[in-house]
A and B are shown apart, each in its own frame.
Chain A
Amino acid sequence: MVERKRFLDFLPHLVLLVGIMIVAFPVYVAFVASTWDASTISNGQMPLRPGPYFLENYYKTIFVGTASSTREPVGGMMLNSLVMALTIAIGKIMISIVSAFAVVYFRFPFRMTAFWVIFMTLMLPVEVRIYPTYKIVADLGLLDTYAGLTIPLIASATATLLFRQFFMTVPDELVEASKIDGASAMQFFKDTLLPLSITSIAAMFVIQFIYGWNQYLWPLLITTRDDMQTIVIGIKKMIVTQDALTEWQLAMATAILAMLPPVLVVVIMQKLFVKGLVETEK
């Protein structure tokens, strides 16, 4: 603060607190709804404090499932989401880090072509090539499989760019030292470069885990079996257009469960997350 007015210091705090309350309010309402019974919610008299049905609702959501929609328990959906998010995050990191390594530490014909081929995928979000991609996955017989759910989303220009940027800052002396020690390229990669990249890898993991967990359109198209559903898709099927049939308390419990893992990852790893975000996108 440039001005020295004691009481003015209070204002930013107030504004930020109000901002946080507004941001948190929808989630609070969802949490409260997940602790009441169906009739309290459906008569529109839900109080703004948690009710007594917390354990019952969450047990029902995770292990039993809703009556009106798919009857698929949310626990299984969460597992699918977890497999999908982890496979996408780890897969993206693995194939991106080795391709960045190739582009930065080797000179070979078509090096820049390869780089641009990867780079251009930034401009092809899955939403615009959705039906042809669907058809290819169907032709490969990968519908309703984890492979079909994850592999088409695994190529990543952003991860490759981040690792490339990071490798550029690694001092050349380290390569020279490794070479003098007689290390091969892969030994240098494994013993020197990977340990140095841990922070970048972790930052990328946070971002890509969230990306994978939150996918919507892709799993919507390529999973037809209920037991392959992810939680983000599953919740939509719980909300039935006829109001009376929607079990809002279970839908809201699902919403809370669906945001828990990615939000936890962000909150726990916030420093890395911010670093990764600001560095990849600039």
Chain B
Amino acid sequence: MEKRVVFDGKLLPYMLLLPQLAVTLVFFYWPAGQAVWQSFLIQDAFGLSTEFVWLENYSDLLSKPEYYKSMVTTAIFSALVACLSLSLSLFLAIQADKQIRGTGAYKAFLMWPYAVAPAIAGVLWLFMFQPSLGLIAQALRSLGFDWNPLLNGNHAMTLVVMAATWKQISYNFLFFLAGLQSIPKSVIEAAAIDGAGPMRRFWTIIFPLLSPTTFFLLVVNIVYVFFDTFGIIDATTSGGPAKATETLVYKVYSDGRLGGDLGGSAAQSVILMIMVIGLTAIQFRYVERKVQY
């Protein structure tokens, strides 16, 4: 779509674009380029000399079992958070979409966790599940369950999954509700007249019509788990115990900051960048054309 009527101006449009482009080039493209360049370099321990090593950082990285472990951790984490938050919020959105009173109020009460910082969400859940004094940790202990996210990797993963899911439900809920409300009621009524029960109506009409929204949310949720959960992980488990909750992004941070391995960290960044580009491309390729609200 293009405008028919436009203004003349030779210099003005460039002036208008200048601030945005300046920030973008200096703080986005320049560092991204640096990350790519750095990923081909190896720096000695004192930072005195650097050597161009082609793909050695990558082959090093891909030969290390820790990297694959981090990939598996990220995959499990993403799958759990996406499945849990998508199914819970879809269920809630379906309830809110039934023509009942107070949908607006329910919406208001369900959407505010969106505004809570991931790190704060992590701290809230950490407090409830703190082994020695947490409310729920104690309840679990009194039931004879030895809960300890500080020592047990699976417990730590459960904790970050819960916090990440809690934070994401409101976002998914809003989009599912918008998607549901755009489905014409007449279609559903027609199916009901034909004798289709609620479950049948859901699986044959509502779910297929909602699938573009679901797919869009799936991509968004994966990107969210990859990047935005950094705060949750750092505030609750710091990637531990024994790297059980170390996602790919957390590993970039810890290898670069604590390990001082800038080349390896940069190589990881580049791999992540390729993943984001892939995910964004998928999102635009398939979603842009199909989602209708």
- The chain A residues found within 8 Å of chain B, CB to CB, are 1-3, 9, 11-13, 15-16, 19-20, 23-24, 26-27, 29-30, 33, 41-44, 46, 48, 94-96, 98-99, 101-108, 111, 114, 117-118, 121-125, 127-133, 135-137, 151-152, 154-155, 160, 168, 172, 175-176, 179, 184-186, 188, 210, 213-214, 216-217, 220-221, 232-233, 235-236, 239, 243, 248, 251-252, 255, 258-259, 262-263, 265-267, 270, 273-274, 277-278, 281-282
Whole-angstrom distance from the CB of B112 to the nearest CB of chain A? Answer: 5
- Residue contacts A-B, CB under 8 angstroms, 25 given: A3-B198, A26-B125, A27-B124, A98-B17, A103-B17, A111-B13, A121-B28, A124-B29, A129-B34, A129-B269, A130-B253, A131-B265, A132-B30, A132-B34, A136-B26, A152-B27, A186-B12, A214-B117, A259-B117, A266-B114, A277-B174, A278-B175, A278-B293, A282-B291, A282-B293
For B23, what are the chain A residues with a Cβ–Cβ distance below 8 Å? Answer: 95, 151-152, 154-155
Question: If A124-B276, A127-B252, A251-B123 touch, does A262 touch B115 (CB 8 Å cutoff)?
Answer: yes
Q: Is the CB of A216 within 8 A of B117?
A: yes
Contact residues of B between 73 and 101, Cβ < 8 Å to A: 88, 91-92, 95-96, 98-100
Question: If A1-B99, A114-B17, A129-B35 touch, does A232 touch B133 (CB 8 Å cutoff)?
Answer: no
Residue B64, interface by CB 8 Å: no
Q: Is the CB of B24 within 8 A of A128?
A: no
Q: Is the CB of A105 within 8 A of B6?
A: yes
Question: If A123-B276, A129-B35 touch, does A95 touch B20 (CB 8 Å cutoff)?
Answer: yes
Among B46-54, B55-63, B226-234, the stretch that binds chain A is: B226-234
- The chain B residues found within 8 Å of chain A, CB to CB, are 1, 3-7, 9-10, 12-14, 16-17, 19-21, 23-35, 38, 88, 91-92, 95-96, 98-100, 102, 106-121, 123-128, 130, 132-133, 135, 138, 166, 169-171, 174-175, 178, 188-189, 192, 198, 201, 216, 220, 223, 227, 230-231, 234-235, 249, 252-253, 256-257, 262, 265-266, 269, 272-273, 276-277, 280, 287, 291, 293
Whole-angstrom distance from the CB of B20 to the nearest CB of chain A? Answer: 4
Residue in A26, A98, A128 whose beta carbon sits within 8 Å of that of B19 in the complex: A98
For A94, what are the chain B residues with a Cβ–Cβ distance below 8 Å? Answer: 19
Q: Is the CB of B16 within 8 A of A98?
A: yes
Q: Is the CB of B234 within 8 A of A216?
A: yes
Residue in A2, A168, A232, A266 whose beta carbon sits within 8 Å of that of B188 in the complex: A2
Question: If A105-B7, A129-B28, A172-B3 touch, does A235 touch B123 (CB 8 Å cutoff)?
Answer: yes
Q: Is the CB of A236 within 8 A of B234?
A: yes
Q: Is the CB of A29 within 8 A of B135?
A: yes
For A114, what are the chain B residues with a Cβ–Cβ distance below 8 Å? Answer: 17, 21
7 nearest A-B residue pairs (beta carbon): A132-B31, A132-B34, A216-B231, A214-B117, A102-B16, A262-B115, A106-B13
Number of A-B pairs whose CB atoms are under 8 Å? 296
Question: If A44-B132, A98-B19, A270-B111 touch, does A127 touch B227 (CB 8 Å cutoff)?
Answer: yes
Whole-angstrom distance from the CB of B188 to the nearest CB of chain A? Answer: 6
Q: Is the CB of A23 within 8 A of B166?
A: yes
Majority-rule SS of B interface residues: helix
Q: Is the CB of B269 within 8 A of A128?
A: yes
Question: If A128-B252, A131-B265, A172-B5 touch, does A266 touch B235 (CB 8 Å cutoff)?
Answer: no
For B6, what are the chain A residues with a Cβ–Cβ distance below 8 Å? Answer: 105-107, 175
Whole-angstrom distance from the CB of B77 to the nearest CB of chain A? Answer: 15
Question: If A98-B19, A99-B16 touch, does A108 touch B10 (CB 8 Å cutoff)?
Answer: yes
For A233, what are the chain B residues with a Cβ–Cβ distance below 8 Å? Answer: 119
Residue in B4, B21, B29, B220 whose beta carbon sits within 8 Å of that of A281 in the complex: B220
For B29, what are the chain A residues with a Cβ–Cβ distance below 8 Å? Answer: 117, 124
Q: Is the CB of A216 within 8 A of B119?
A: yes
Residue in B21, B107, B169 whose beta carbon sits within 8 Å of that of A118 in the complex: B21
Closest-by-CB residue of A relative to B177 is: A274
* Besides A23-B113, A42-B133, A131-B38, 10 new A-B residue pairs in contact (Cβ under 8 A), listed by A number: A16-B92, A26-B128, A129-B273, A132-B30, A155-B23, A251-B123, A251-B127, A255-B127, A259-B116, A262-B115
Closest-by-CB residue of A relative to B150 is: A241
Closest-by-CB residue of B relative to A17 is: B106
Question: If A13-B100, A99-B17 touch, does A23 touch B110 (CB 8 Å cutoff)?
Answer: yes
For A101, what are the chain B residues with a Cβ–Cβ distance below 8 Å? Answer: 16
Count chain A CB atoms within 10 A of each CB in B100, B121, B123 and give the residue with the most.
B123
For A15, what are the chain B residues with a Cβ–Cβ distance below 8 Å? Answer: 91-92, 95
Q: Is the CB of B189 within 8 A of A172?
A: no
Q: Is the CB of B127 within 8 A of A30?
A: yes
Question: If A30-B127, A248-B133 touch, does A179 touch B5 (CB 8 Å cutoff)?
Answer: yes
Closest-by-CB residue of A relative to B7 is: A185
